[in-house]
Amino acid sequence: MDLFIAIFTGTIIAATPLIFAALGELVVEKSGVLNLGIEGMMLMGAAFAFWAIVAGLPMPVAILAGALAGAAASLLFGVLALTFLTNQYAAGLALAIFGSGVSAFLGRNFGSAPIDALKKIYIPYLSDIPVIGPMLFRFDPMVYFAIIMFFVISWFLYRTKGGLVLRTIGESPETAHAIGYPVIRIRYLAVLFGGLMAGLAGAYLSVAYTPLWVENMTAGKGWISLALVVFATWRPLRVLLGAWLFGGMTILQLQGQALGIAVPSELLSALPYLATIVVLVIISQNRQMLALHFPASLAKPFRPAT
C-alpha cells in the first residue's frame, strides 16, 4: 500500500507542471496561434523563480516572478508572430532557444545548493485519514491550483461568451473581425496567458518539484506539453488525463530503477517519452477526431483589413 501511495502521489506531483504548461498552450492554440516556445518560457520561469528565492524574496513572490517571466517571454513571441507576422514555427523555436540561453546565464551563479521547497498543505483531520489523507490532502498549494485552473479553463472555453469568441477566432479570424472583435488583441491576451502558465510550470519545477538549480531542468517537458495538446485533441479533460499518464510513466520508471529491475536505466528513463510517442501515433490514426477539434486557423497569420 505504501508503494501504491508513493506512485499515486508522485504521479500527481510530476504531472503538475505539465498541466500548467499544456492548459496554457491549449488556450493559445484555441485562438489560432501556435507557440513552440513552451520549453524556453518554462526555463525562464524556473530561473526567475529560483533567483527570487535566492534573493530572499517570499515564496509567493518567487512563483509570481516565474509566471511574469514566462509572460514576458511570450510577449516577445507575440510581437514577432502577431505584429510582424513572422512564421510562428520559427518564432516559437527561437523563443525556446532564447529561454534556454537566458536561464543558463541567470543560473551560472546559483550553484548546486538546494533551497527550501514549497511547503505542503496540512489539513487537520483530513490529512491524517489513512490512505486517503496522503493521497488527497498532503500536496503543496500549486498542485491544487493546477486542478482549479483545469476547471476554470474548461468553464471559460465552453461556458462563457469570451470562450466562444476565442474559439471563433481560432476557427475563422476573418469572420470574428468582420463581426467587430479585435482579433489581434485577443490573440495577444491568449499568448500572454499561455506564457503565464508556462512560467508557473517552470517556477513549480525549481521551487517545489526539484528545489535546486539544474541547467535545462525542464528536460523536454515543454515539448511534452505541446504533444499533450495534440494528444488531447484540444480538449481540457484529455490534457489533464494525458498529463497524469505522463506523470505516472515518469514515476514508474523512477520506481523501477529504485527496485533494481534488470532493464537498462537509459531505457527506463526514456519510457515516459516512448509512451507519449506511442499514444500520439495511435491518436493520429483517427483523423476524423483530430479534424473535428483542430482549430482551423492554427499557425496561420492574420492581418486585419484596413
Write down the pLDDT at residue 27.
Answer: 98
- Name the band, by pLDDT with cuts 50, 70 and 90, for residue 273: confident
Mean pLDDT of 111-120: 85
Instruction: For CA atoms 200, 206, 210, 211, give the dihedral sign.
Output: negative
Mean pLDDT of 233-237: 93
Structural domains present in the chain:
2-293 (1.10.3470)
Write down the pLDDT at residue 259.
Answer: 67
CA 117 to chain centre: 20
CA distance 112 to 109: 9
How is residue 263 annotated by DSSP?
S
pTM beyond 0.85: the answer is yes
Cα–Cα distances (Å) from 255 to 7, 132, 267, in that order, read 8, 21, 13
Least confident of 10-24, 55-69, 162-176, 260-274: 260-274
Mean pLDDT of 83-110: 94
Select, from the ranges 130-134, 166-170, 264-268, the one with the highest average predicted confidence (pLDDT): 166-170
